Structure 1
Amino acid sequence: MSELKKHIYDEKNGLHYTLIGDYYIPDLKLPEEHRPIGKYGRMHWKYLREVHPSRLNTLILTGELWTYLADLNEQAQERLDTIMEQLKVAEGVTEELKRTCQMEWVKRCNNIYNRAEEIILYEAIYS
């Protein structure tokens, strides 16, 4: 009986394999992603798990999940900041208001944040 090679390369599919026991297992590596998925990434992951499990499985199996969620989190945060700035300008929430009436400024900023986040959740997270 001939000795099996420990490592082989399949030119047809471009994968390297390692002999483990009696089987050749593909040497697969997930892409390295060091960015955090953040609040909005976690919310979208939960949404995918509950509403679109097949989409979640596809992202997991292709190794794209972490990158997808990190990108989504960054885009959601940038959009949130943009919407908040636009609403502040439209509603006259200025540094002058902050200096003269801090509690009013805080109240308005919290209101703007909550509305902007609702827009983000509708547009990006739960869609």
Structure 2
Amino acid sequence: MKLPYKKGTMNMELTYTPQGDYLLPDLTLSKVAMRIGKYGMMRKTFLKTERKGMYAHLMLTEQLNHHLTDIDRTAREQIEQTMQELLRLNPAPDKASDPLAWMEHMNHLKLQAEELILTELIYH
């Protein structure tokens, strides 16, 4: 069964499938292959649990995957820039002479950079 739907100046025809006493709209989301990384998945989890309205809106307007890939890309870029700045301000020990101290220093800087990104970008 087709019923006309008007919203603003856009006309759409929705099809419905009878399910018992109800007519349910035939809705499908388009499948777009996008790679969502660590930070995009963290953002998705945050939206699903803390910003349910925004999550539903992004999902229904088919902008969720685009939003998540943008967040992931931006987070990785900002972490890289922040790491470079932190490394400039706090130089690492010599990697060749003390690899464990170098690794510990670099991990600490990455944790600092990630903490900034998580509060400013992911959990905002």
TM range (shorter): 0.7 to 0.9
Matched residues in 2 for 1:116 and 1:78: separation? Answer: 11
* CA distance in 1: counterparts of 2:101 and 2:62, whole angstroms: 47
Match of 2:102 among 82, 86, 105: 105
Aligned to 2:39: 40
Moved over 6 A (4+): 18-21, 25-28
CA distance in 1, matches of 2:92, 2:12: 58
Task: Name the one with the larger strand percent.
Answer: 2
Structure 1 gap segments, 5+ residues each = none
Aligned-pair CA distance for 1:35: 2.6
What does 1:22-101 align with in structure 2 at a 5 Å threshold? 30=30, 33-93=32-92, 97-101=94-98
Query: When the two structures are superposed, what TM-score results if normalisation uses the length of structure 1?
Result: 0.75
Q: Percent identity?
A: 26
Structure with greater Cα Rg:
1
**Following superposition of structure 1 onto structure 2, how do residues 105-124 of structure 1 map, counting pairs within 5 Å?**
105-124=102-121
8 A Cα contact 2:92 2:106, kept in partner: yes
Residues 26 and 20 of structure 1, relative CA distance in 2, 3 Å threshold: closer
Q: 2: distance between equivalents of 1:124 and 1:29?
A: 26
Structure 2 unpaired stretches of 5+ = none
Query: Once superposed, what is the RMSD of the aligned Cα atoms?
Result: 2.7
**Whose helix fraction is larger, Structure 1's or Structure 2's?**
1
